């Protein structure tokens, strides 16, 4: 049995239609939402992501500022730029693209962003508020995963969600969001013993580890919903963390890579930016 595709591009298009209406409404009131993206260094993947964010802003009529800084930029210079953006009324959202060069303290940088402009949801205050269920900016990739599941008619209540990966950007927040929606949640990671035994228990399997094709057909039970957050560059192009060709034979529903979670991440960033402007 081949599973059905969860089409991230199609769902993103629908959600962006709603975001567009909210942008238009704000503009009628004389408000243009604004997003500032800061990129330090020349990581090719980061450069591509930043370019896509800029393009999507322009399409939706969101004011976009991109700061491309040299690899040697000092922490003080970066913190100075963030402070300037914190105080700039044209800017509703600030995103510092990760990873940062090694000489810069990532936690310090993220905690310098005004929590009310932290559209990535990475400031300690937003992370804490998310965990205790208070109003917070929800990190874009995990948020996109949840919206995809909801739009695909996948109920979370009472389901066993297995998350593979424990990063601050995806694994931990997506587990928190699933828990809030009354799922039973297991987080597996690189030190987990008997990983296939655990992944085979999943009703919903969310994979965010960054290792090409690591989840194989044998690790997935018939009827599982599979969400692949990985994007890995291999000789043949881009592939996910899930061996798509094999796993699609057993999954009930599955996201492709590319065209799955990726378009949703950018969409939720636009949502958070517009939300920030609406709250102003």
Q: How many binding residues for ligand GUN (CB under 6 A)? A: 8
Contact with ligand GUN (CB under 6 A) among 52, 69, 98, 238: 98
Cβ-contact 218, 180 below 8 angstroms: no
Q: Which residues pair with 34 in a beta bridge?
A: 63
120 is catalytic: yes
d(CA 10, CA 154): 16
Is position 53 annotated as part of the catalytic site? yes
Handedness of CA 3, 9, 14, 15 (dihedral sign): positive
201 is catalytic: no
- Ligand-binding annotation for 190, yes or no, is no
Query: In the complex, what is the shortest distance from the CB of residue 277 to ligand GUN, in angstroms, rounded to a whole number?
Result: 19
Verify binding: residue 140, ligand GUN, rule CB under 6 A: yes
Catalytic residue among 53, 159, 172, 248: 53
Catalytic residue from among 97, 117, 159, 253: 97
Q: Is 4 helix (H, G, I), strand (E, B) or coil?
A: strand
Compare residues 98 and 252 and give the one whose CB is closer to ligand GUN.
98
Collapse the DSSP code of 58 into the 3-class scheme (helix H, G, I; strand E, B; otherwise coil) and give the result. helix
Q: Which is nearer to ligand GUN, 176 or 224 (CB)?
A: 176
How far apart are CB 212 and ligand GUN at their closest, in Å?
17
Residue 22, classed as helix, strand or coil, is helix
126 binds ligand GUN (CB under 6 A): no
DSSP secondary structure code for residue 272 in this structure? H
Per-residue x/- marks for ligand GUN, 209-248, CB under 6 A? ----------------------------------------
CA gap 209, 207 in Å, rounded: 6
Residue 118, interface with ligand GUN (CB under 6 A)? no
Q: Check residue 64 for interaction with ligand GUN (CB under 6 A).
A: no
| Paired sense of beta strands 204-207 and 160-164, if any | parallel
Task: State the Cα–Cα distance between residues 169 and 131, nearest whole angstrom.
Answer: 14
Site for ligand GUN in 76-95 (CB under 6 A): 95
Distance CA(183)–CA(204), nearest Å, equals 10
Total residues found in the chain within this entry: 280
165 is in an annotated binding site: yes
What positions carry a catalytic annotation? 53, 97, 120
**Which residues in this chain contact ligand GUN in the complex, by CB under 6 A?**
95-98, 120, 140-141, 169
Q: Which residues are annotated as a binding site?
A: 165-167, 231
């Amino acid at each position: 049995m081949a599973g059905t595709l969860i089409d991230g591009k199609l769902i993103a298009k629908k959600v962006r239609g709603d975001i567009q209406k909210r942008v238009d409404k704000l503009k009628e009131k004389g408000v243009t939402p604004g997003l500032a993206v800061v990129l330090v260094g020349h990581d090719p993947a980061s450069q591509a992501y930043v370019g896509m964010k800029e393009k999507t802003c322009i399409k939706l009529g969101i004011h976009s500022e991109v700061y491309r800084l040299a690899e040697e930029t000092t922490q003080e210079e970066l913190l100075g730029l963030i402070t300037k953006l914190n105080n700039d009324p044209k800017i509703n959202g600030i995103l510092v693209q990760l990873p940062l060069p090694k000489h810069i303290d990532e936690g310090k940088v993220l905690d310098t962003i005004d929590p009310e402009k932290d559209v990535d949801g990475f400031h300690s205050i937003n992370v804490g508020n998310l965990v205790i269920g208070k109003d917070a900016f929800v990190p874009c990739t995990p948020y996109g995963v949840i919206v995809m599941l909801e739009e695909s008619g996948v109920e979370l209540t009472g389901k066993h969600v297995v998350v593979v990966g424990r990063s601050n950007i995806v694994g931990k927040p997506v587990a928190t969001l699933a828990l809030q929606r009354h799922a039973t949640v297991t987080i597996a990671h690189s030190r987990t013993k008997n990983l296939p035994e655990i992944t085979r228990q999943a009703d919903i399997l969310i994979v965010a580890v960054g290792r090409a094709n690591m989840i194989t057909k044998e690790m997935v039970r018939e009827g599982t919903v599979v969400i692949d957050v990985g994007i890995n560059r291999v000789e043949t192009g881009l592939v996910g963390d899930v061996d798509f060709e094999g796993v699609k034979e057993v999954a009930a529903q599955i996201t492709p890579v590319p065209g799955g979670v990726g378009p949703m991440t950018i969409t939720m960033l636009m949502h958070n930016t517009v939300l920030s402007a609406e709250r102003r």
